């Protein structure tokens, strides 16, 4: 009660406590905002296939006569995925049991069952995920599967017909058709995640479609559909991760077991009036560090919990998302300058970015 009385006294003159915070916040010096690099777990993982190379685009671009022919060609390569957390889809990229899906389909699942088009089902053997791009690779112990052909998403054009094939609503493999509405879409999907190079289509994409293929009229995979980003509350807006941007991620998940990125080693939170007030911050813009990973570049450079990062190199950071993107755009081993606030003082330090530690 005393704390409330003190707050009301400070802001006085009929202002409410919240109004007082807002007024105080608006009068503070404006600086820039940064984001965090996600903290990765430690020990290394084993690769699925160190010699792997994603198959090249078929290049034939032979248009099939109708959607019936497209489905007949692609459907044997599409799988339904059942987990203890829900259902999803995937598609066979390698006949020896390597399957591509979305990260959010398998993330955190204790049990993953792959249902093939011929009715057989298998437990997942290995799972490799990349939350940043919402992609994952799953393996099953079987050979001789029908793998899907991969297309070239760079050759797509607006108005081109496409089909989304997958386990929509968990009711088995089905197909919806539509057209390409927009290319090279950038879409924020959370406060700290933005997906780039997306394909927008009016083909219906529903829960359960996640991870399934978006295919062209040659029956080639040109995108990985995602119900996670399709649910934007607008009719006729479905999205798929373009296969060209997904290829490098898929390759790294198979060859290395994780995606190699630059690493700072902090978790941060965005700043708002309440964060400023409760932490007695001097600035109203930036990203406050909530955790520094021991032994990380940030730790070695001297960053601490409670510091507010406002600039990375020559980039003004406006959100947590901005910092992640800025870190990932840098080279491993690159030395960058970070400007941050600690208490009432602004400081600058240099940090050498390393590679993200492999997940456990």
Establish whether 328 is a catalytic residue: no
E runs forming strands in 58-160: 78-83, 86-94, 98-101, 112-115, 121-123, 126-130, 135-139, 149-150
- Cα separations in angstroms, 104 against 12, 73, 85, 132, 151: 48, 27, 10, 11, 24
Distance (Å, whole) CA 238 – CA 229 = 7
Establish whether 134 is a catalytic residue: yes
E runs forming strands in 110-212: 112-115, 121-123, 126-130, 135-139, 149-150, 161-166, 174-190, 193-201
Angle at 249 between CA 110 and CA 130, to 5 degrees: 30
The answer to whether 117 and 173 are in contact (CB under 8 A) is: yes
How many other C-beta atoms are found inside a 10 Å radius of the C-beta of residue 170? 15
Where b means 16+ CB within 10 Å and e means fewer, 329-357 reads ebeeeeebebbbbeeeebeeeebebbebb
Catalytic residue among 77, 89, 130, 134: 134
The answer to whether 91 and 77 are in contact (CB under 8 A) is: yes
Catalytic residue among 77, 89, 104, 319: 104
Angle between the N-to-C axes of helices 17-26 and 2-11, in degrees from 0 to 180, rounded to the nearest 10: 50
The answer to whether 309 and 323 are in contact (CB under 8 A) is: yes
**Residue corresponding to tokens 């050759």:** 155
- Cα separations in angstroms, 235 against 116, 203, 292: 31, 10, 42
- Cα separations in angstroms, 90 against 47, 76, 115, 125: 20, 11, 10, 15
The answer to whether 95 and 116 are in contact (CB under 8 A) is: no
Distance (Å, whole) CA 231 – CA 229 = 5
Catalytic residue among 181, 210, 245, 319: 210
Rounded to 5 degrees, what are φ and ψ at 6? -65, -45
Q: What residues act catalytically? A: 104, 134, 210
């Amino acid at each position: 009660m005393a704390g409330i009385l003190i707050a009301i006294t400070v802001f006085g003159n009929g202002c409410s406590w919240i109004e007082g915070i807002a007024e105080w916040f608006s009068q503070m010096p404006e600086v820039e905002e940064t984001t965090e690099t996600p903290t990765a777990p430690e020990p290394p993982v084993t690769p699925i296939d160190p010699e792997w190379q994603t198959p090249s685009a078929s290049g034939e671009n032979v248009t099939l006569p109708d959607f019936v022919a497209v489905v007949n060609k692609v459907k044997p390569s599409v799988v339904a995925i059942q987990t203890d957390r829900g259902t999803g889809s995937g598609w066979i990229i390698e006949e020896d049991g390597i399957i591509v899906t979305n990260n959010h389909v398998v993330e955190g699942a204790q049990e993953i069952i792959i249902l093939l088009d011929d009715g057989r089902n298998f437990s997942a053997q290995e799972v490799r995920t990349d939350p940043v791009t919402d992609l994952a690779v799953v393996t099953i112990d079987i050979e001789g599967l029908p793998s899907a052909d991969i297309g070239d998403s760079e050759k797509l054009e607006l108005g081109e017909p496409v089909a989304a094939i997958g386990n929509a609503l968990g009711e088995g493999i089905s197909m919806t058709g539509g057209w390409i509405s927009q290319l090279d879409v950038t879409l924020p999907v959370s406060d700290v995640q933005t997906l780039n190079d997306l394909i927008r289509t009016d083909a219906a994409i529903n829960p359960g479609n996640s991870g399934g293929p978006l295919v062209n009229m040659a029956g080639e995979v040109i995108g990985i559909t995602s119900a996670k980003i399709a649910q934007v509350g607008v009719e006729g807006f479905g999205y798929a991760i373009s296969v060209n941007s997904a290829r490098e991620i898929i390759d790294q998940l198979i060859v290395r077991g994780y995606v190699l990125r630059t690493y700072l080693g902090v978790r941060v939170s965005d700043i708002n009036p309440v964060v400023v007030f409760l932490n007695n911050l001097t600035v109203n813009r930036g990203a406050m560090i909530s955790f520094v990973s021991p032994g990380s570049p940030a730790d070695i450079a001297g960053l601490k919990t409670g510091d507010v990062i406002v600039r990375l190199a020559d980039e003004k950071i406006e959100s947590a998302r901005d910092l992640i993107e800025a870190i990932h755009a840098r080279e491993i081993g690159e030395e960058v300058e970070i400007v941050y606030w600690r208490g009432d003082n602004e400081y600058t330090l240099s940090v050498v970015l390393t590679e993200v530690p492999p997940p456990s």
